[in-house]
């Protein structure tokens, strides 16, 4: 650790006090508290600006945390709980989860054509296509 004093981190401190701090953030906070403070300020700017209502912010947070690229269960739980407290219905939350679930299909829509191209380039037999009637 450096002997250089670090800038105050009021937002990070507030997140800890409000029990909104993710322990996974501790390592990068330990390495650079000032950067972490700026990162948190950037990430929370839409919430703090008031442009979106609190329930919509929770829906977005649910979508991000539940997405196949994130899959952060503690965040999904925290944001679902908060959305319910703000009056969200189970149907609204289910719709958010349904919307984000389609991200996974892109694995096939990207990968399958590439597989077919690579099979063609190596002169490997392409699979036959079966259509259901």
Q: 103: which 2 tokens?
A: 């991200």
Q: Does residue 44 sit in the same domain as residue 80?
A: no
* Four-residue CA torsion sign, 9, 10, 16, 21: negative
Q: Does residue 83 lie within any of the structural domains?
A: yes
Q: Does residue 117 sit in the same domain as residue 60?
A: yes
Q: Is the pLDDT of residue 3 over 90?
A: no
- pTM, whole model, 2 decimals? 0.72
Q: Is the pLDDT of residue 127 over 90?
A: no
Domain residues for the domain of 77 are 52-121
Q: What is the pLDDT of residue 128?
A: 67
Q: How many domains does the chain have?
A: 2
pLDDT band at 94 (very low <50, low <70, confident <90, very high): very high
Q: Is the pLDDT of residue 132 over 60?
A: yes
CA neighbor of 62 nearest in space, from 89, 97, 33, 31: 97
Q: Does residue 91 lie within any of the structural domains?
A: yes
Q: Does residue 26 sit in the same domain as residue 38?
A: yes
How many Å apart are CA 98 and CA 96, to the nearest integer?
Answer: 5
Q: Does residue 33 sit in the same domain as residue 56?
A: no
Q: Does residue 63 sit in the same domain as residue 44?
A: no
């Amino acid at each position: 650790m450096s002997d250089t004093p670090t800038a105050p981190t009021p937002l990070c401190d507030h997140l800890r006090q409000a029990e909104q701090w993710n322990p996974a953030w501790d390592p990068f906070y330990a390495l650079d508290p000032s950067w972490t403070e700026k990162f948190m300020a950037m990430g929370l700017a839409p919430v703090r600006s008031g442009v979106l209502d609190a329930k919509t912010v929770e829906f977005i947070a649910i979508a991000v945390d539940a997405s196949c690229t994130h899959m952060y269960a503690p965040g999904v739980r925290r944001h679902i709980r908060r959305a319910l407290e703000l009056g969200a219905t189970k149907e609204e939350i289910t719709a958010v989860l349904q919307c984000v679930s389609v991200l996974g299909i892109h694995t096939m829509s990207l990968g399958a054509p590439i597989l077919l191209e690579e099979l063609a380039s190596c002169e490997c037999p392409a699979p036959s296509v079966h259509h259901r009637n």
